[in-house]
Every structure is written in structure tokens, then in C-alpha cells.
Amino acid sequence: MAGDYWLTPICAYCERGDPGFWAEPVNALSNAAFLIAAGLAAWRLRRAGTADAPALLLSALVAVVGVGSFLFHTLAVRWSLLADVIPIALFIYAYFLLAMRRYFDLGIGAALAATVAFAAVNVGLEPVLNGLTGRSTDALTNGSIGYAPAILALAGVAAGLLAPQGCSLAPARHEAGRALLAIAALFTVSLAFRTLDRAVCPVWPLGTHALWHLLNAGVLYGLIAVAARYRRRRS
């Protein structure tokens, strides 16, 4: 039955040893990092004294990410998995759209087209890799392969901002580009901890997924801070 399907337990992480609500206390409580990141981002935007609705909406979305992830790491059923992954996906695509608009001054149509293309690559990557390797990349990477396009896109945006520019905005672009490259590096480290979670289980029963939460909260905060600072410098 459909109801039974959505209530099917999921045991995806090293820390979870049973289907109980507090079977992943470290993974669950580490989601507080997202709430802290959201609060700090909103406070920083308010303190700047300039209206930046897109950045403020992204801050709210970071809080939703934390709540959704908490639900998944406590309830651990199929519907709570959606509460975990959908807000993350929304943040990725929303930030990509903002990057196209804010960093590269694309019109809304071109920015939306680029975002749709990015989403298509993101969705299609895993099936293509599965076909090429004949193995489940999701199983090999503990579900982390879906974030690879986000890292590549972030590095690509940074490279575009660092490209030589003969205009007064070049310093602001280069500053943002360097910051985004650093964030991409942090994102890579955080994704490594997500990938290694089950592999380290025999020697570290808590796993490493909580480190993914902590570092990824820093990634999301950093992305919002860079976008807001770039807008202020342009103004």
C-alpha cells in the first residue's frame, strides 16, 4: 500500500543501529548547525542595512534544510527522506539561478534556461555513470555522487568571476571568485565526510555524516555571505 511505502524505515548511515527516533542522536542534533547558519546569515543581512530579498530567502531555506534533515535523521522513513533532499535541491538551484543573475548579469530567461540545463545534468549524471560503469554509483559513493555537479558548477562560477575583466567591477568579481573557490574546496571536504560515513563504521561507530552537516552549514552560510557582499560592492 502507498501509506506503507512512505513509512518504510531507511537505515542509510553508520550511526543508525535500529529504527528508533533517537537512533542517530549525533546526526540529528548536528543539524542545529544549519539553524545557526541561517540565523547568522539573516543577522548579517539585517546588520548590513540593505534589502536583499534573494539572500534573505536563501537564509530561510537553510533553516528549512536543517529542519528537513533533522526529520530524516530521527524518523528515518521515506517521506522524511523527501523532507531532507528537496530543500537541499531547492537551495542548489536557487543559488545557481541567483549566481547567473547577480554574478553574470544574465536576463531572467537566460538564467532560467541555464538553471534548467544544470538541473538536467544533475538529474542525468547518475544514470549515465551507472550505464558506463555497470555498477550503482549511488551505492559506491553513499549517495554523494548527486552533489558532484554542484561542486563543479560552483568551481565554474568561481572561474568565470576570476576571468580577466577590463571594468571597474573586476575587483569585486575577483574577490567573489576567490571566496567561491574556497567554499568549493570546503564543500569537497564536507562531501568526502558524507561519502566515507559507512566505510569508517567498523572503526568509528558514529560515522562521519555529522561532519557533513557541520561543514555544509558553513558552505551554505558562505555562499549567502558572498552573494550579499558582492551585491553591496556593486551598489
Q: Is the pLDDT of residue 1 over 70?
A: no
pLDDT digits (tens, 9 = 90+) for 181-201: 999 999 999 999 999 999 999
Q: pLDDT tens across 51-98, in order? A: 899 999 999 999 999 999 999 999 999 999 999 999 999 999 999 999
Quote the cell numbers at residue 136.
550503482
Place of cell 552560510: 221
Cell of 164: 580577466
Which one is predicted more confidently, 142 or 75?
A: 75
Rounded to two decimals, what is the model's pTM?
0.94
Other beta carbons within 10 Å of 18: 9
pLDDT digits 0-9 by tens, 4-54: 889 999 999 999 999 999 999 999 999 999 999 999 999 999 998 888 999
The alpha-helical segments, DSSP class H, found in the chain are: 2-6, 25-29, 32-48, 53-75, 78-102, 108-133, 137-141, 148-162, 170-196, 209-234
pLDDT at 71: 98
Look at 1 and 67; give whichever has higher pLDDT.
67
- Coil, strand or helix: which one is 77? strand
